[in-house]
Amino acid sequence: MDLLLEESTQASAAFATLPPSVAVWHRATSTGVLHAKLIAADRHTAFLGSANLTDRALTDNIELGVVLRDPAVVGPLVDHFRWRITPENGVMRLA
């Protein structure tokens, strides 16, 4: 499992107790904001939305999300995030 988390938030602390098999990634540079929320179960099913995955965001905010069940849509999303964590690309780094 790979998690791409914003380093400037408490997101890493929230996931600190996950097993070592979970790789946590941060942006390699400090410009911009990692704002995407994508949970991909495989190359066929994913959740794409605007909500931060926090109690407050999921209970108090008005957010939108969609479950995608189409390999033609989900596959390229997974490919994009896999590209981002490929070390040679220099986009993300392991935490």
Q: What is the CATH number of the domain that holds 7?
A: 3.30.870.10
94 pLDDT higher than 80: yes
- Residues 93 and 73: their CA atoms lie apart, in Å, by 26
At residue 73 the predicted structure's pLDDT band, cuts being 50, 70 and 90, is very high
Range of the domain at 23: 2-94
34 pLDDT higher than 70: no
pLDDT for position 54? 74
What's this model's pTM, rounded to 2 decimal places? Answer: 0.76
Sign of CA dihedral 52, 55, 56, 62: positive
- Residues 54 and 42: their CA atoms lie apart, in Å, by 23
Please count the structural domains in the chain. Answer: 1
**Number of residues assigned to the chain:** 95
13: its two tokens: 């602390």
